A and B are shown apart, each in its own frame.
Chain A
Amino acid sequence: MHPESRFLAHHFDSLEQQHEAATMGMWLFLATEILFFGGMFTAYGVYRSFYPQAFVAASHHLDVTIGTFNTGVLLTSSLTAALAVHAAQAGRRRAVIGFLVATMLLGATFLGVKGFEYHHKFVESLIPGHGFVFPGPHARHAELFFSLYFVMTAFHALHILIGLGVMAYVIVLTRRGQVTPEHHPSVELTGLYWHFVDIIWVFLFPLLYLIR
């Protein structure tokens, strides 16, 4: 009996088939995710084209330096996630755990910085709703910008949070010896998911912070 066959679920005939199914399932899930964010990106695009000046004015209230820093943090975390997958292929279990921990720390840093930014908006009364205060003639439409800013970044942050949970679980799996050079879909698919979360941010960052 092949040593990896302990990973084979009862309803599959071979590990190849099982891997193919898992990978395809993940890609389809990501397709769903793209369309989920797509609805919000559409709303952003429509309102930006309606109220370009208000959106530019509102965008100036976001801190590009902090945004750039956070983008750097997230891109680095994609690198460590890729290195974790690489280490899994090479069968270096401790390196897998190390890179996953690094990815988690970077993800947590991103969330911390985001929280700091949110706090800042709160102090500046830029939270949409009754207490919203925006100087200048564009207050009403700037509120739309900030509504979308909070919705989109909050859903993105939620995905980061889920990613952190998943990685913690994969670390446990790795320690239990469930990650081998031939069989490591958990690491691979987590990496895929993490890159996706990154890519969403790569679109959010210029749309919200940079286009002025």
Chain B
Amino acid sequence: MKSHYLNEDYSVRSWLLTTDHKRIGILFLLSITLFFILGGAAAVAVRLELLTPEGDLVSAEAYNRLFTAHGVIMVFFFLIPSIPSVLGNFFIPMMIGARDLAFPRLNLLSWYLYMAGGLLGLSAIVGGGIDTGWTFYTPYSSVFANGQVILAATGVFIAGFSSILTGLNFIVTIHTMRAPGLTWFRLPLFVWAHYATSFIQVLGTPVVASVIALVGIERLFGVGLFDPALGGDPLLFQHLFWFYSHPAVYIMILPAMGVISELVTCFSRKRIFGYEFVAYSSIAIAAVGFLVWGHHMFVSGQSMYAGMVFSFLSFLVAIPSAVKTFNWTATLHKGSISFATPMIYTLGFLGLFAIGGLTGLFLACLGVDVHVHDTYFVVAHFHYIMVGGTVMAYLGGIHFWWPKMTGRLYPEFWGRLSAMVIFIGFNLTFFPQFLLGYMGMPRRYYAYPGEFQVLNVMSTAGASILGFGYLMPLCYLLWSLKYGAEAGPNPWKSVGLEWQTESPPVVQNFETTPEVTQEAYAYDAQEAEADAS
């Protein structure tokens, strides 16, 4: 049997002390899946409570703890690490023809920090819970906190350093370790997207760490850093928090956009339309994304003029996102499209991301935002981006690269079926929430007036379908590890560098360092070659 990164050593120790980026990617895959299931369980409880207008399943206090647990787990312990730490970790070195990331031991440390943070967060949730919402707003998290705020905040703080180290590692790797001939404009767009993301991780995360430390000190010592009664300013907390947490949305969506660029080209057998535009738009999103945080505070007492500037800048950041969407759509045009599972996820992403992005423009309007602020409209909007966008792309990417990671093919029929179940379940869950929010149903309440029930029942029904859809890949992907067909090096006939080596890859990724002689997505050349032979 051929030796590869999975079978060279089976011991637990060899996994826990590995510095192989591929194994660390797998460690992240397993751990974030666990957190996804836990965060999903909290969502199930939330949706069940909202089945009826009365608060009958859980108490109001328990409900606050449930949606906080859902938000904290999903944002900090699933979405932020998801694509970068799993797919980025595994494939960036392979896409650039390197043997590993620049700092393999830091990479392992990043996983340990993530686990430490995650377990602290989890112990906070189990040991009494937190009722602040995932945003840790003061005074919920300071004066009026009744829960394990310190523990949870420490967990988020530590997991933040995991994210910083991953970003730092990616930037250095992409700068210094590209294979001979791999110039910047021959890089896959997945790499460009992660490059832009990494800057947000390195420059944004420390600010939220800083503000979390300040909240911790306020709690521990009873000083009024953000307490107006003691001279503090809660708005300052919101500024510092969103300075990171808006760009954090791009930590979640930019890598997803990178995945989509890979998938849409491979399954249209076409070069990407406007490579430079897609590459630069990642950088533009990361840069402008740092200047829009105030759109979360239009009704928080921020000055009107600041609101106008933040509104304008928020509209501006929509332009590079739209550029990408147009370019992906143009790539489809006259392509030879095949509807394999990853492509179904890609098409789902395009539709859902478009809805999520356009409703974001509603929220960037000062006047409209006053009406829908803190309603289910906002909840629906960011779920269209984070679940409809990021999770769809993540699952599409997992299916696309599964044969490379494991050497096995997943069952295509079940893959397509679950992708469609997820798409339908998702829309049924979240589209009614746009309507609920527009009609005025506020978020974060466990009871609601009777006239909202029909739409809430639809949403809960959709969530059941969605949950079922997520369970399917969990089952058949595990099944495929043992019973799936051998994948071979390149089952998708992709032109990406990561496909030019064995599946699963050897420990060193490539037998010899590859030399790159053509641009990314040279599918035309590949087709021409196939015609000629």
B164 (CB) vs chain A CBs: closest residue: A32
Binds B, one of A35-43, A81-89, A104-112, A178-186: A35-43
A39-B210, A130-B222 known; A46 vs B236 contact (CB < 8 Å): yes
Within A128-186, the residues touching B (CB, 8 Å) are: 128-130, 140-141, 143-144, 147-148, 151, 155
- Give bound CA distance, A42 to B207, whole Å: 10
Question: How many Å lie between the Cα of A130 and that of B220 in the bound state?
Answer: 11
Task: Verify A24–B175 contact, CB threshold 8 A.
Answer: yes
The DSSP consensus for interface residues of chain A is helix
CA distance A112 to B232 in the complex (A): 31
Our pick among B106, B168, B207, B223 for the contact of A36 (Cβ within 8 Å) is B207
Instruction: Tell me whether A37 and B210 are in contact (CB under 8 A).
Output: yes
Say if the beta carbon of B205 comes within 8 Å of chain A: yes
Contact B102 A33 (CB under 8 A): no
- Cα A147 to Cα B220 with chains together (Å): 12
Q: How far is the CA of A180 from the CA of B204 in the complex (A)?
A: 37
Query: What's the least CB distance linking A143 to chain B, in Å?
Result: 6
Q: Which of A20, A28, A130 contacts B171 (CB 8 A)?
A: A28
CB <8 Å contact, A43 and B236: yes
Nearest CB in chain B to that of A38: its residue:
B207
A11 with B202, Cβ < 8 A, contacts A21-B177, A24-B175, A143-B223 known: no
Answer whether residue B98 sits at the interface, using C-beta atoms and an 8 A cutoff. Answer: yes
A29 contacts chain B at the CB level, 8 A cutoff: yes
Closest to A20 in B: B176
Task: Tell me whether A144 and B102 are in contact in the complex, defined as CB-CB below 8 angstroms, given that A151-B214, A151-B217 are known contacts.
Answer: no
Determine the distance from Cα of A146 to Cα of B204 in the docked complex, in whole angstroms: 26
CB contact between A129 and one of B211, B221, B232, B513 (< 8 Å): that residue = B221
Q: Quick one: which of A24, A31, A43, A143 contacts B172, CB cutoff 8 A?
A: A24
B461 shortest CB reach to chain A, Å: 43
Contact B207 A144 (CB under 8 A): no
Tell me whether B206 and A24 are in contact (CB under 8 A).
no
Cα A147 to Cα B219 with chains together (Å): 12
- Chain B residues 172 to 195 lying within 8 A of chain A, measured CB to CB, are 172-173, 175-177
Q: Which residue of B lies closest to A12 (CB)?
A: B177
**Residue from A25, A36, A46, A155 in contact with B233 in the complex, judged by beta carbons closer than 8 Å:** A46
Number of A interface residues at 8 Å Cβ cutoff, please give it.
37
B257 within 8 A of A: no
Given A46-B236, A147-B225, does the pair A25, B102 have CB atoms closer than 8 Å?
yes
> Quick check: B177 and A17 within 8 Å, CB to CB?
yes
**B99: which A residues are within 8 A, CB to CB?**
10-11
**Least Cβ–Cβ distance between B241 and chain A, in angstroms:** 10
- Give the CA-CA distance A40 to B164 in the complex, in Å: 18
One of A11, A24, A28, A143 near B98 (C-beta < 8 A): A11
A11 CA / B168 CA spacing, docked (Å): 17
A50 at interface, CB cutoff 8 A: yes
Given contacts A21-B102, A144-B225, contact A36 B210 (CB under 8 A): yes
Q: Report which of B103, B164, B240 forms a contact with A43, defined as CB distance below 8 A.
A: B240
Chain A residue with the shortest CB-CB distance to B201: A32
Contact between chains at B176 and A17 (CB < 8 Å): yes
Q: How far apart sit A79 and B233, CA to CA, in the bound complex (Å)?
A: 40
Contact B210 A40 (CB under 8 A): yes
List residues of B (286-344) whose CB comes within 8 Å of A's CBs: none
| Complex interface bits, B101-123 against A, C-beta within 8 A gives 1, otherwise 0 | 11110100000000000000000
When A28-B202, A32-B206, A38-B210 are in contact, do A147 and B168 touch as well, CB less than 8 Å?
no
- Bound form: Cα–Cα A168–B261 in Å: 48
A sample of 11 more A-B contacts (CB under 8 A), given A25-B103, A141-B231, is A21-B177, A25-B168, A31-B203, A32-B164, A32-B168, A32-B202, A35-B210, A128-B223, A143-B224, A147-B221, A147-B225
Instruction: Please give me the 3 A-B residue pairs with the lowest Cβ-Cβ distance, nearest first.
Output: A39-B210, A36-B206, A11-B100
Give 9 CB contacts A-B under 8 Å: A11-B98, A21-B176, A28-B168, A35-B206, A39-B206, A47-B233, A128-B223, A144-B232, A147-B217
**B residues within 8 Å of A by Cβ?**
98-104, 106, 164, 168-169, 171-173, 175-177, 202-207, 209-211, 213-214, 217, 221-225, 230-233, 236, 239-240, 513
Using a CB–CB cutoff of 8 Å, the interface residues on chain A facing chain B are: 10-13, 17, 20-21, 24-25, 28-29, 31-33, 35-40, 42-43, 46-47, 50-51, 128-130, 140-141, 143-144, 147-148, 151, 155
